[in-house]
A and B are shown apart, each in its own frame.
Chain A
């Protein structure tokens, strides 16, 4: 097994003085691994993945992403962000730019690519998520599922090594969840390292190499999907699974 691409070493985070949101997180993620993180709300799942691209800062412990230790060094953070793409629950597309402009913004302005190359790359990604015909529309003219697929394409434009998904289908209505999950499954089969916070257990069973269950800021259990869903080891996991798999 190669060197892990992400390492959490006794990472702790507090919001303010009293709210201990991440407690002694120890986690190693290998290159190309697909991880699903699940758990009740407030368990720190989003905070965990937001620490990976330094949208949140941890106060204790070491966090190493793609060989770079995340600290206060701005250059290191920029370097990490070039390798880590993120998809948000609220899509966070730029509403005043067309879909194509949303995708070419970063390659042109950060990657310094010439416009034609950036557009070619953008169209390639749009075709990958099957939304190329909407390239000239504005995000608000698209449905939720389409917007999320554009968001995924936008993150992929920078050819990241790691993709983070923060509850990507939670804001979508049920008919559209499938189209986004299909895109994510296809991505997963292409070798990209994926860390996904989601409540979609079907997706976890289909794609994940490991399922991590978190509660109250700590990792309660981590196992392969088959083991986790059929044979949970921890009381808390059993309790959680009985509630969500019931309906």
Chain B
């Protein structure tokens, strides 16, 4: 019996182009009857709405800060309200002459935040840098030293307050939620029950009531004369709240790790802490990066609720800036668009960063 040799068929190009812009449009926008109909309907809606919006926002807009001229007939958006009020919106009730201080402090914080996101900075001395930056931040904002005038925390506001609350809440709630998630899966009944009760209690109430309780009820339990700074109360409230939510996200990731991983680690002699730190958590956290980033973005926007305790962060500062001035009160759309842009810039950056983190974390899974 003669055997034949294996003659491989040479690879050829596909007959119809499937990669590129035109093929994408062909398959995604005009693929079948329903898709084509949807393209026309939504395309039509966009064609109707977007030019109207651009007309209002740009072509018919009035750019100078003259509220009477803005109220004239046929004028579109009045961006003058921003040029007039931007300092009040961005810095809140911080004293006008001292507003360079929150500017400097916030720039310091944002710079270190962005730097911390890059690999080059993931070294032990980053912790020291953060400690220095935070003490510098509070020193500059609070004043009372270095010849700076003292400004009490209830006057801090606007974007610096939003960024500070979000940053510190995120930094504190992440490690706490790790512990709570691990605690909920612990074999020790006391720890397990404690963590479960914590999560269920906090998730049972809205953030606004947690802030309310932290701010108004908490001081009732303190001895007479002892006041806890309002910022601290609010920080504790937001941090505890997000810890409960993030703990559940992380627990979902922990549950998805096959039991075999922990068994293999056990047979290799690794302790509980070593197993969690080197085997389980890296895999679990890589899996739930989208969920965690979601929580971070939610924290950033939850800061807007601190208005309830009279801290005027970005959203509260806007309401205060426009509400108290009868001239500009009707131009709230432009104001909200302005702060929406600011929120969007921050939240979208976090979102993009999340995609980068996911790609890094999943390097090992590429075949």
- Taking Cβ atoms with an 8 Å cutoff, the residues of A that contact B are 53, 55, 78, 81-82, 84-86, 88, 90, 92-98, 105-106, 109-110, 138, 140-141, 154-155, 158
Contacts and interface: CB of A to CB of B under 8 A. Distances in A.
Interface residues of B, number: 22
B268 A55 contact: no
B4 interface: no
Most buried by A among B263, B271, B283: B263
List 3 A-B pairs, minimum CB-CB distance, nearest first.
Answer: A92-B264, A106-B268, A92-B260
Interface in B269-297: 269-271, 274, 278-279, 282-283, 286
Given A97-B364, A106-B269, A110-B270, A88 B286 contact: no
A96 B286 contact: yes
Contacts of B269: 78, 81-82, 106, 110, 158
Given A94-B261, A95-B365, 14 more contacts: A53-B267, A55-B266, A55-B267, A81-B267, A81-B269, A84-B267, A86-B264, A92-B258, A92-B260, A92-B261, A105-B278, A109-B274, A110-B269, A110-B274
Nearest to B362: A96
Contacts of B282: 96
Given A94-B279, A95-B283, A81 B266 contact: yes
B276 to A, nearest CB: 13
B12 to A, nearest CB: 27
B364 A140 contact: yes
Given A82-B269, A105-B278, A110-B268, A88 B260 contact: yes
B7 interface: no
Contacts of B286: 96
A196 to B, nearest CB: 15
Nearest to B361: A96
A84 B279 CA distance: 20
B356 to A, nearest CB: 17
B119 interface: no
Nearest to A82: B269
Contacts of B261: 92, 94
Contacts of A53: 266-267
A154 B264 CA distance: 10
B364 A138 contact: yes
A94 B283 CA distance: 9
Contacts of B123: none
Nearest to A79: B269
Nearest to A142: B367
A61 to B, nearest CB: 22
Given A88-B260, A90-B260, A105-B278, A96 B364 contact: yes
Contacts of B363: 138
Contacts of A106: 268-270
A217 to B, nearest CB: 21
Contact of B267 (A86, A90, A105, A109): A86
Contacts of B266: 53, 55, 81
Contact of B268 (A97, A105, A140): A105
